[in-house]
Structure 1
Amino acid sequence: MTVDVFVDKDLCQGHARCNLICPEVFDLDEHGFAVVLAQEVPPGHEGAVEDAVQNCPEQAITIK
């Protein structure tokens, strides 16, 4: 099963929780806002990505 991850740059406020929870998928840009390293989630990291989605205070992360 393939899962795609997206960060809405208009909503992200740079809390960096996603990067702390799943650094294999999320990184921070030079301004501290979330960017997706791997739009397709690496095997075994699906749960961590779901945790990142749930922990985003701005609800800026979506998965499909």
Structure 2
Amino acid sequence: MRVIVDGAKCQGNARCWAQDPEMFDLNDEGYLPTQVIDVPDEPDKQLKARRGVRACPERALTLEE
């Protein structure tokens, strides 16, 4: 599983970061840059990734199974 981040859509609400600050590492300005986040094969991390994707009001995050 991985999360695809479209940094151009990120508005810095940090709702993903609230789910897992280690996974959704914001830059110095408080935004999530464009990147691909490989989610560990751990149920807790996968749950937090799903929650982070759902929490984004701009839909800047896409989950790939």
Which category of TM-score, normalised to the shorter sequence, fits these structures?
A: 0.7 to 0.9
Greater helix share, structure number: 2
* Percent of residue pairs bearing the same amino acid type: 37
- Provide TM-score, normalisation by structure 1: 0.82
RMSD: 2.0
Which runs of 5 or more residues in structure 1 are unaligned? none
Which runs of 5 or more residues in structure 2 are unaligned? none
Runs of 4+ residues over 2 Å off in structure 1: 35-38
> Does structure 1 residue 39 correspond to structure 2 residue 56?
no
Aligned residues: 62
Q: Which has the higher contact order (CA 8 A, sep 6+)?
A: 2
SS of residue in 1 equivalent to 2:25? strand
- Provide TM-score, normalisation by structure 2: 0.81
Q: Using a 3 Å threshold, how does the CA distance of structure 1 residues 23 and 37 change in structure 2: closer, same or farther?
A: farther
